[in-house]
Amino acid sequence: MPIQIFFNKTSPESDPMFNEKSRKIMMDLMSKRDGLLKKHGIKELGNWFVPSEHLVIIVDEAQSLDDFQKLAMEPEYTVMLAYLTYETKVALSAAEAMKMMKQTK
């Protein structure tokens, strides 16, 4: 199953810890996140905040990459693009990587 690692970064001025408007957006999303993940069949594996870098790291797992795309199109997620930038990486579990290595000649 695909795993996606999200690196969400804000400027200090738009960090939800210090900016009322972005805090409201983030609090709204966080209150709905569990329901949205369930709606799209996505499992959260971890979620971390690095305050000194204004960075949030989220690791999620889904049945397909399409599930991640559908989640990203939810209004609660698209509104965040007004104050953050993000980078997404698709990753494999160690077991999946081992399976690939065994098949490589």
pLDDT by 10s per residue, the chain, length 105: 789 999 999 999 999 999 999 999 999 999 999 999 999 999 999 999 999 999 999 999 999 999 999 999 999 989 988 889 989 999 988 888 899 899 987
Q: 16 is in which domain, residue-wise? A: 3-103
Please tell me the pTM assigned to this model.
0.85
Domain count within the chain? 1
Read out DSSP for the chain? --EEEEEEEE-GGG-TTT-HHHHHHHHHHHHHHHHHHHHTT-EEEEEEEEGGGTEEEEEEE-S-HHHHHHHHTSHHHHGGGGTEEEEEEEE--HHHHHHHHHH--
Domain containing 31 — which CATH number? 3.30.70.1060
Q: Which residue has the tokens 């999303």?
A: 29
